[in-house]
């Protein structure tokens, strides 16, 4: 069920500063910022091979990132995103085994334009897990 790590997300208090630090100090390619109102964040991706680093900044008063940054003012690891081939099947299996899905349990569209769900961190050793549906290409199937 669990596929490769798609990205590791860092909550940051200042997205422009974080983007500049990755770009200028580490020489990384950083995407343009993207606002995701449904998730309450603005994101940018640091390209570093098949796994990316996602930089998250709060967007709006109800942003879950704002609460995270209140506890961690300099930022920090927010979540790890794994790819899955069938998000609804993964959700149903996890729920049947006692895992908790955050929100209403219905997938939302994430930054890559694909359905995503988040798993309760208390069920996974204090780590927030995001699952992103990535269908295998015909060559991989």
Report residue 137's pLDDT band, with 50, 70 and 90 as the boundaries: low
Averaged pLDDT for residues 16-25? 98
Report residue 62's pLDDT band, with 50, 70 and 90 as the boundaries: confident
Report residue 40's pLDDT band, with 50, 70 and 90 as the boundaries: very high
Q: Global pTM?
A: 0.90
From the candidates 54, 57, 130, 133, give the one annotated as an active-site residue. 130
Is 130 marked active-site?
A: yes
Q: What is the DSSP string of 39-88?
A: TTEEEEEEEBTBSEEEEEEE-STT-HHHHHHHHSTT-EEEEEEEEES-HH
* Dist CA 114 CA 16 (whole Å): 25
Of residues 1, 94, 68, the one with CA closest to residue 105:
94
Any residues with CB less than 8 A from the CB of 135 and at least 6 apart, and which?
85
Give me the domains of the chain, ranges plus CATH numbers. 5-133 (3.10.180.10)
What digits encode the pLDDT tens for the residues 79-135?
A: 999 999 999 999 999 999 999 999 999 999 999 999 999 999 999 999 999 999 998
């Amino acid at each position: 069920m669990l596929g490769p790590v798609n990205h590791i997300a860092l909550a940051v208090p200042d997205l422009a500063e974080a983007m500049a630090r990755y770009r200028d100090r580490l020489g990384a390619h950083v995407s343009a910022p993207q606002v995701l109102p449904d998730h309450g964040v603005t994101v940018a991706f640091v390209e570093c091979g098949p796994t990316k680093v996602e930089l998250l900044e709060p967007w709006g008063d109800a942003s879950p990132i704002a609460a995270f940054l209140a506890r961690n003012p300099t930022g920090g690891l927010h979540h790890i995103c794994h790819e899955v081939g069938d998000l609804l099947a993964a959700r149903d299996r996890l729920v049947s085994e006692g895992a908790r899905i955050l929100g209403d349990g219905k997938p939302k569209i994430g930054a890559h334009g694909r359905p995503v769900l988040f798993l309760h961190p208390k069920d996974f050793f204090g780590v927030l897990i995001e699952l992103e549906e990535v269908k295998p290409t015909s060559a991989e199937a």
